[in-house]
A and B are shown apart, each in its own frame.
Chain A
Amino acid sequence: MNPAFRRCGDWALLVEVGGVGEVLALYDALAADPPRGVTDILPAARTLLVRFERPARHDTVESAVLKARPASGYRPVTGEVAIPVVYDGADLADVASLTGLSERAVVEAHTTTMWTVGFSGFAPGFGYLTGGDPRLNVPRRDESRVRVPAGSVALAAGFSAVYPRESPGGWQLIGRTDVTVWDVTADPPALLRPGMRVRFTEVRRA
């Protein structure tokens, strides 16, 4: 891993690596033993944003990142959750035609591969799930929906996600789950945290 460093203002450093796997490995290594002064370590698709305060400086954070020893190869599993889904989403037919698969094959592709939470964003507890079946790489919808219900299971840009709360959204909806993925009274409040593995299972509609 040869990280590239980009300064992000006076108190943050953007660390660029190859992809989600390397991001997570570096995230694990840094989060296990955060360098002094580091307040936030935020994994994303190809980058890790490290925010800090005194006594840390850009150069001390850079050397701490270079000294971190990310586990190489397959990273350890930090938790696994199963998410039961009713696959009756409003965009299931569109996803089928975009991928050239039947609706049944979309469901099978979504449930047979293991997903990994790469990072969070968009909303609290919204985990970008990576590593699924590459055939499920579909674009966002042309038009965003004003309201996507909480628990909607969706696809876009190679990721899958579960909407933590009702919100606007432009992802393709393929199903819904009763599992609560965001609860401010829980500790931690997010069910899906970077590095966790996720398996979707199909439940027949009641």
Chain B
Amino acid sequence: MRECRVLEVLATGPMTTVQDLGRPGRGDLGVCRSGAADRGALRLANRLLANPEGAAALEVTLGGLKVRARGDLLVALAGAPSPATTTDAAGRTRGIGHQAVERLPDGATLRLGAPRRGLRTYVAVRGGLDVPEVLGSRATDIMAGLGPERPAPGSLLPVGPPPAGFPVVDLAPVLELHHGEPVLQILPGPRDDWFSEEALKTLCSEPYEVTTDSNRVGMRLSGPRLERVREGELPPEGMVPGALQVPPSGRPTLFLADHPVTGGYPVIAVVRTRDVDRAAQARPGQFIRFRLARA
């Protein structure tokens, strides 16, 4: 095995960032946890490679990534299923599987097309991406501007030493993202009392469209207005991923990984943690639905 293993970036598509599981515990300094928008997908890709679950990987938005291996690499894709191909140094191209352990030999390129469903695909490498940490994490927080340099054509991303363990399965038979409108479970509050009783019913009965005004910070949703019964400003208070914050327009914003640590608009309800990953895979133009979580 070559001493120095590197992932060379040839193209990034609309947006590619380095992500891990983020930097928790610094909210009191105004630092958001950040990390993979679909945490479950990052964890899965790493587990397939026997990496620690929080090893740094690429988060690729709507495909378009092209990378070349320098040194023999093992990779795994998870999250939004992108059609992916590898081309070896001799020019032979083949398709590779989703949620599967795949070899990327020295000189081979990996190319991701636009995913059929979902938004964010994770490309993990055995050993993890060994870019410099910022505040104890390799996550890219686009809101705060924290994290490693954004990958760009020509970037050389060092790969860390392989972990002691070896992959135990070749692929994970995990359900793909389903067609249609994802249904996300919500828990009312913490400021549901700022809204009319109708508001929560409306939120749970009508579909909301993910607008193009969406990114890792949050998704602005379009749908029926959620009427407030209390006017005035809310003093700033802490926010969490999955919070449905309602500005004066009455249309909620669903916060994702790089949400502001504090906000001044009331949060009518919060999406269950396990459903935030699915929210992060909803594409602009797609409709999502909310349901009250069973207590």
Q: Per-position contact with A for B21-61: 1 when CB-CB < 8 Å, else 0? A: 00011111111010000000000000000000000000000
Residue of chain A at shortest CB distance from B33: A40
> Which of A41, A121, A126 has the largest number of chain B CB atoms within 10 A?
A121
Indicate whether B78 reaches chain A with its CB closer than 8 angstroms.
Answer: no
Residue of chain A at shortest CB distance from B30: A120
A188 to B239, CA, bound (A): 22
Known A44-B236, A49-B239; further 18 A-B contacts with Cβ < 8 A? A7-B190, A9-B187, A10-B187, A10-B293, A11-B273, A39-B25, A40-B26, A42-B27, A44-B235, A47-B238, A119-B262, A120-B28, A122-B30, A123-B30, A184-B146, A188-B29, A189-B135, A190-B30
A124 to B145, CA, bound (A): 9
Judge whether B273 and A10 touch: CB under 8 Å.
Answer: yes
Given contacts A8-B190, A8-B243, A14-B237, contact A124 B24 (CB under 8 A): no
Q: Per-position contact with B for A20-51: 1 when CB-CB < 8 Å, else 0? A: 00000001000100000001111111111101
Residues on B lying within 8 angstroms of A by beta carbon are 24-31, 33, 134-135, 144-146, 187, 189-191, 235-240, 242-243, 260-262, 267, 270-273, 293
A184 to B141, CA, bound (A): 13
A40 to B29, CA, bound (A): 11
Interfacial chain A residues near B262, Cβ < 8 Å: 42, 44, 119-122
Residue of chain B at shortest CB distance from A41: B28
Interfacial chain A residues near B24, Cβ < 8 Å: 39-40, 51
Given contacts A45-B235, A51-B240, contact A122 B260 (CB under 8 A): yes
Q: How far is the CB of B287 from chain A (nearest CB, A)?
A: 22
Residue of chain B at shortest CB distance from A12: B240
Judge whether B236 and A6 touch: CB under 8 Å.
Answer: no
Residue of chain B at shortest CB distance from A5: B190
Judge whether B30 and A8 touch: CB under 8 Å.
Answer: no
Judge whether A40 and B25 touch: CB under 8 Å.
Answer: yes
Interfacial chain A residues near B27, Cβ < 8 Å: 40-42, 49, 51, 120
Q: Per-position contact with B for A52-79: 1 when CB-CB < 8 Å, else 0? A: 0000000000000000000000000000
A11 to B293, CA, bound (A): 14
Interfacial chain A residues near B191, Cβ < 8 Å: 6
Interfacial chain B residues near A45, Cβ < 8 Å: 235-237
